[in-house]
Amino acid sequence: MPSRIVIVEDESLVGLDLQETLERAGYEIVTVIDSADALLAVFQKEKPDLILMDIRLRSYLDGIDAVQRLRLFSDVPVIYITASTTPGVRQRAETTSPDAILSKPVPPETLLETVRKALGESRS
């Protein structure tokens, strides 16, 4: 059974690119949402194995806020994918124990390698 992934990304082309890359590699993309505000409801309903999270979003919460809330009841692997790589943002993101913080644009090979590692998969 393929690992189930939720993508939180407010740039639709970036979200679609991530989805296509991961689906080609055999992962199931449960949904692509554009708001951190929706994450908790989606997480509770879908129970994904991994979350790809943009940090800057057009929603009340940013990606880090959403993961902080998620951490209250889950240690699901999270990979941040962001254009915001200032030291302050990185430091804030690190407080949520992410599996990785990747800078946009993310090469497909780097994305897949990071996802495999976060899911504890060995390379086949």
Res. 124: pLDDT tops 60: no
The pair of structure tokens assigned to 93 is 């993101």
The domain that contains 96 carries what CATH number? 3.40.50.2300
Torsion angles phi and psi, residue 65, rounded to 5: -60, -45
* Rounded Cα gap, residues 29 and 7, in angstroms: 7
Question: Quick count: other Cβ atoms within 10 Å of Cβ 68?
Answer: 15
Report the Cα 8 to chain-centroid distance in Å: 6
Domain ranges, residue 99: 4-118
Residue 95's pLDDT band, with cuts at 50, 70 and 90, is very high
CB 104 within 8 A of CB 14: yes
**pLDDT digits over 67-84, tens only?**
999 999 999 999 999 998
Token code pair at residue 92: 């804030």
Could you read off the pLDDT of 2-54 as tens digits, one per residue? 999 999 999 999 999 999 999 999 999 999 999 988 999 999 999 999 999 99
Residue 124: inside a domain, yes or no?
Answer: no
**Counted domains in the chain:** 1
Say what the pLDDT of residue 25 is. 98
Residue 11 lies in a domain: yes
At 31, which amino acid appears? T
pLDDT at residue 123, as a whole number: 61
Looking up tokens 């994918």 gives 81
